[in-house]
Amino acid sequence: MNLIVSNHPDETTAAGRDLGARLVPGTVVALAGDLGAGKTHFVRGLVAGWGGTEAATSPTFTLLHEYATPRGPVFHLDLYRAKTAAEVWDATHDELSEAAGLVVIEWADRFPELVPPNACRVSLTATGQGRREITIEQ
Ligand SMILES: Nc1ncnc2c1ncn2[C@@H]1O[C@H](COP(=O)(O)OP(=O)(O)O)[C@@H](O)[C@H]1O
Ligand SMILES: [Mg+2]
């Protein structure tokens, strides 16, 4: 378990970039944290660290965004508006089982049954104005 204190959105993005650079293909990253905790900032860094050039946005209204990168695809899921695990699984099981790429799930804690046991778990918590605590379990 790794604890990082972030005092600026850019520091949260940088923490994501550091992790993204260390991940191997096939990894699922499960992100937990309330609205505004910084999950999307973290994912932006993660995609960049993994080697992507496209800027990650929030897929809140689409369930799934895919970023093509030279290291393989990054699948970015946001389960905020998802209603059931079955609905998510039906729409994304090809991506969730993709061994060549990286899967990043925002609001993963809403459907723990979708998170593989070997996932990398990241939790973001607002601890003050501009301040976030990020824990990473790999
Ligand atoms: N240290 C910090 N890290 C990340 N975001 C921060 C931080 N301090 C303030 N913020 C603000 O919190 C919000 C985080 O947004 P976002 O990354 O979209 O969160 P989420 O995806 O968890 O809803 C942004 O408005 C950002 O400017
Ligand atoms: Mg978000």
Tens-digit pLDDT profile for residues 15-57 = 999 999 999 999 999 999 999 999 999 999 999 999 988 777 7
Query: Given the CA of residue 130, which atom of ligand 1 is nearest to it?
Result: 8
Buried b (16+ CB within 10 A) or exposed e, 71-93: bbbbbbbbbeebeeeeebeeebe
72-98 pLDDT per residue, tens: 999 999 999 999 999 999 999 888 877
Query: Which of the pair, 101 or 96, is modelled with greater confidence?
Result: 101
Q: Is the CB of 57 under 6 A from ligand 1?
A: no
With beta carbons less than 8 A apart as the criterion, state whether 104 and 38 touch. no
Q: Is the CB of 132 under 6 A from ligand 1?
A: yes
How much is the average pLDDT of 107-129? 95
Determine the Cα–Cα distance for residues 82 and 108; give it in Å rounded to an integer. Answer: 11
Strand duo 28-32 + 120-128: pairing: parallel
Q: Kindly give, in sequence order, each residue whose CB lies less than 8 Å from that of residue 9, ignoring residues fewer than 6 positions away.
A: 38, 41
Q: How far is the centre of ligand 2, averaged over its atoms, from the C-alpha of 42 (Å)?
A: 9
Q: Could you tell me which CATH number the domain at 25-111 has?
A: 3.40.50.300
Determine the Cα–Cα distance for residues 39 and 44; give it in Å rounded to an integer. Answer: 9
pLDDT at 55 (0 to 100): 73
Q: Kindly give, in sequence order, each residue whose CB lies less than 8 Å from that of residue 50, ignoring residues fewer than 6 positions away.
A: 20, 21, 23, 69, 71, 74, 102
Q: Which ligand has the nearest atom to the CA of 36?
A: 1
How much is the average pLDDT of 105-126? 95
Query: Given the CA of residue 78, which atom of ligand 1 is nearest to it?
Result: 21
pLDDT at 93 (0 to 100): 87
Determine the Cα–Cα distance for residues 73 and 104; give it in Å rounded to an integer. Answer: 11
pLDDT at 59 (0 to 100): 57
Q: Which ligand has the nearest atom to the CA of 124?
A: 1
Task: Output the residue whose Cα is nearest ligand 1's atom 1.
Answer: 8
Query: Given the CA of residue 6, which atom of ligand 1 is nearest to it?
Result: 1
